[in-house]
Structure 1
């Protein structure tokens, strides 16, 4: 990723985030809850969580490659921030429970990442 592309990457992620969370958040939460009592669901939930974590680490590394990421943040920290704000639970809290629009949620997450993660 070339310099100055971190904001573009965050903007691209914004569109994907809104589209995916609308469809998948309810499924993820149902699977998470089922994982408490069903071993197969628990295994699938762990697999999804590990895949999400790996994807967030790749995203952090891509952001680092732009030269725009704050130098005091490790890739693991960046991945944790992105992972937590990208979670179905976060989506449900703001969109379903607080009535935010999907676009407002995606804008908020992207703006938060940009302000906190980028130099």
Structure 2
């Protein structure tokens, strides 16, 4: 009988993989709820397990506490994640009219701030107590700055960027403008509507960065 050479193929069960995916999503969603309700310090693995309806080891199978927070933040941002590689963000960069580009960017970032604002506050409050969370905060800020730089570059390409503002300074101004804390303070603390924030958000960027004739 001929011998079969090579390693035996690992068996894959689509049903088992789908079950594992759903369990992971349930754990991460539960973690997001617990972190928002309890804060990071008071949140426990036991609370997350109870909320997800799984065992404590199952939760640890998804990740430790800091990893769960990072995953929860990422899951909350799904559908509005601001990264330089995001398809929606790439489409923004193709807009040739600077005024519309900044309006669309305002819509994009206001939506993200609405989704991420509460968890971002939790992250800011505890980043100084955990090296992993400090790294997550740093990387999230770098992500915002990278995107701000790309938008500033796209505006400059249209020829509409104010001549007295260097491109890197324009990126810094956008970086400050798109901080989720701005949304949280105006909408959650001062009672602005989302639409009012979005209008202010777009108008401020346009007024600050574009030549008057381009507004």
Category of TM-score, reference length = shorter chain:
over 0.9
2:140 pairs with 1:44:
no
2:34 pairs with 1:34:
no
Where do residues 1-119 of structure 1 align in structure 2 (5 Å cutoff)? 5-119=97-211
Contact 1:36–1:42 (8 Å) recurs in 2: yes
The CA deviation at 1:67 is 0.4
Q: RMSD over aligned Cα, in angstroms?
A: 1.7
Which structure has more RCO (C-alpha within 8 Å, separation ≥ 6)?
1
Q: Deviations over 1:85-105 (max 9, x none)?
A: 111111111111110011111
The CA deviation at 1:2 is 8.2
Query: Which ranges in structure 2 are unaligned for 5 or more consecutive residues?
Result: 1-92
Secondary structure of the structure 2 residue equivalent to 1:94: helix
Q: Deviations over 1:50-101 (max 9, x none)?
A: 1111111111000000101101101121111111111111111111111001
What CA distance in whole angstroms lies between the structure 1 residues aligned with 2:94 and 2:139?
32
What CA distance in whole angstroms lies between the structure 1 residues aligned with 2:96 and 2:204?
17
What CA distance in whole angstroms lies between the structure 2 residues aligned with 1:108 and 1:19?
14
Aligned length: 119
Contact 2:144–2:178 (8 Å) recurs in 1: no
Contact 2:145–2:175 (8 Å) recurs in 1: yes
Which has the higher Rg, Structure 1 or Structure 2? 2
Q: TM-score, normalised by structure 1?
A: 0.92
Contact 1:95–1:101 (8 Å) recurs in 2: yes
